[in-house]
Amino acid sequence: MNKDKNWRLLEKNDKQIYKAIIGEEKRQQKGIELIPSENYTYPEVLAANGSILTNKYSEGYPKKRYYGGQKYTDIVEQLAIDRAKKVFKCEHANVQPLSGSPMNQAVYFAFLKPGDTILGMDLSHGGHLTHGAPVSHMGQIFNFIRYKTDPENKGKIDFKELMKIAKKHKPKIVLCGYTSYPRDIDYAGFKKVAQAVGAITMADVAHIGGLIAGGVMNNPFDYSFDIVTTTTHKSLRGPRGGLILCKEKFAQAIDKSVFPGLQGGPHMQTIAAIAITLKKAMQPEFKKYTQQILKNAKILSQVLMKNGAKLITNGTDNHMMVIDTIKSFNLDGRVAEETLDKISLTVNKQIIPDDSHPPLRPSGIRLGTPAATTRGMKEKEMEMIGQWIIKALNNYKDDKFLKKLNKEVETMCLKFKVPGI
């Protein structure tokens, strides 16, 4: 395999795509990804993801395939399965979901019929689209009852209220785990609610999967959860993909639901890259990495709050922060995102609990520390990033000032290499 030759061929035969990839490489190197769901993956993952495994169809599971020629793909998938079980301390792992949305859909279809009820978090309070947002197909197929957080009480969940809702609506799945929620999750509280109504417990830990793998956040399996889903490209630092982890008694239903229920051929190049990621997650360096993600988030949130930023939930327990930019800077999330783009800090505009503004011009932005931490940035850099955010958002009309800040950001970024570039 000659990777340099492959790149030379691409450069020669498709200049437009080649140039766009090189442009994106430069953008990633010159700025900082602060979107909490993004990360810079390992060079080994890039190698596996760009490998000839992409040529192979492998419908089915190791030793039970529908096509021949599976000697090596079986090795790859079995390694990914065994490592996932070890890292997340669970009985069964399906490593084939193509990403986060199909991963959650496969769980619903494994256990529910159309019209059945799921208890999930409201989108604006931190739930994912697949947790029942009306615009998602899932919201149209299943009957989602959506609970909320208490913004006045650090974004905590009122379990007495949740129990009442569960008893009234009798969900078949009680779902926790979120996409824009900066607090830890009381898995024992959810288990109690689910047990009271005989529901399956499901945690979608897509965002914090890496933090659980590193042992710095609670693992739902320690609270006897039934099903845990996670993407592999966020805090876990792997390729884009998903894992469904469960107790053995649910294994058959989950596997059938992923294939042939929902998906066709698994992406074996991604599964190899997931196996590599999981081996990395078992190393002591990964634990240190996840500890630093949390330290960085604490510092960044403190710098922001000290300087007038109003954070949803008034702080963070994980890698993520949501800033109410209207209350803090009198700017909507779109203007805030565009302003920070001008100084090479990439964040995403974000709806806040019960937002009265529309999703493309919401009231906030969301940011997090996994990617910056991967580059080696620590407390000192978090202090600088926090100050840059505050200065830029307080001076969003001053293009000359923003240009000056951008130089500072780029100079700092060039000292922290993006792995694999």
Mark whether 59 is an active-site residue. Answer: yes
Nearer to ligand DSN, 179 or 328 (CB): 179
CB of 226 to ligand DSN, least distance (A): 22
Q: Quickly tell me which residue has 């996670």 as its tokens.
A: 230
CB of 179 to ligand DSN, least distance (A): 4
Nearer to ligand DSN, 73 or 290 (CB): 290
Identify each DSSP E strand in 97-190 by its residue range.
117-121, 143-147, 173-176
Catalytic residue among 156, 192, 240, 334: 240
Nearer to ligand DSN, 149 or 406 (CB): 149
Nearer to ligand DSN, 58 or 130 (CB): 130
CB of 141 to ligand DSN, least distance (A): 18
The SS3 of residue 144 is strand
Closest residue to ligand DSN in the complex (CB): 37
- The reply on whether position 128 binds ligand DSN by CB under 6 A is yes
Q: Quickly tell me which residue has 């969301």 as its tokens.
A: 366
Catalytic residue among 229, 231, 270, 290: 231
CB of 49 to ligand DSN, least distance (A): 19
Catalytic residue among 122, 204, 255, 355: 204
CB of 128 to ligand DSN, least distance (A): 6
Phi, psi dihedrals of residue 403, rounded to the nearest 5°: -60, -40
Mark whether 204 is an active-site residue. Answer: yes
CB of 232 to ligand DSN, least distance (A): 13
CB of 255 to ligand DSN, least distance (A): 23
Distance CA 97, CA 271 (A): 9
The SS3 of residue 229 is strand
User: Would you tell me how many other CB atoms lie within 10 Å of the CB of residue 13?
Assistant: 9
CA distance to 149, 240, 262, 310, 419, per residue, from 380 (Å) = 33, 30, 46, 22, 21
Nearer to ligand DSN, 128 or 391 (CB): 128
Please identify which residue in 31, 34, 37, 333 interacts with ligand DSN, judged by CB under 6 A.
37
Q: Is-contact 90 201, C-beta < 8 A?
A: no
Nearer to ligand DSN, 37 or 406 (CB): 37
The SS3 of residue 114 is coil
Catalytic residue among 148, 234, 349, 375: 234
The SS3 of residue 176 is strand
Nearer to ligand DSN, 272 or 312 (CB): 312
Catalytic residue among 57, 341, 346, 410: 57
Mark whether 192 is an active-site residue. Answer: no
- The reply on whether position 391 binds ligand DSN by CB under 6 A is no
The SS3 of residue 178 is coil
Smallest CA-to-CA distance from 325 within 341, 301, 309 is with: 309
User: Would you tell me how many other CB atoms lie within 10 Å of the CB of residue 352?
Assistant: 26
CB within 8 A of 125, min separation 6: which ones?
147, 148, 149, 155, 181, 353, 354
Window 85-104: contact mask with ligand DSN (x via CB under 6 A): ---------------x----
Catalytic residue among 11, 38, 44, 59: 59
Applying the rule CB under 6 A, the residues between 253 and 312 that interact with ligand DSN are: none
Which phi-psi region, left, alpha or beta, contains residue 350 (left: φ > 0; alpha: ψ -120 to 50)?
Answer: beta
- The reply on whether position 179 binds ligand DSN by CB under 6 A is yes
Mark whether 234 is an active-site residue. Answer: yes
- The reply on whether position 238 binds ligand DSN by CB under 6 A is no
Q: Which helix H or strand E contains 348, and what residues bound it?
A: strand 348-350
Nearer to ligand DSN, 205 or 389 (CB): 205
Q: Is-contact 88 221, C-beta < 8 A?
A: yes
Distance CA 278, CA 306 (A): 37
Distance CA 48, CA 45 (A): 5
Give the interface size with ligand DSN as a residue count (CB under 6 A).
Answer: 4
Which residues have a catalytic role annotated?
Answer: 57, 59, 204, 231, 234, 240
| Residues in touch with ligand DSN (CB under 6 A) | 37, 100, 128, 179
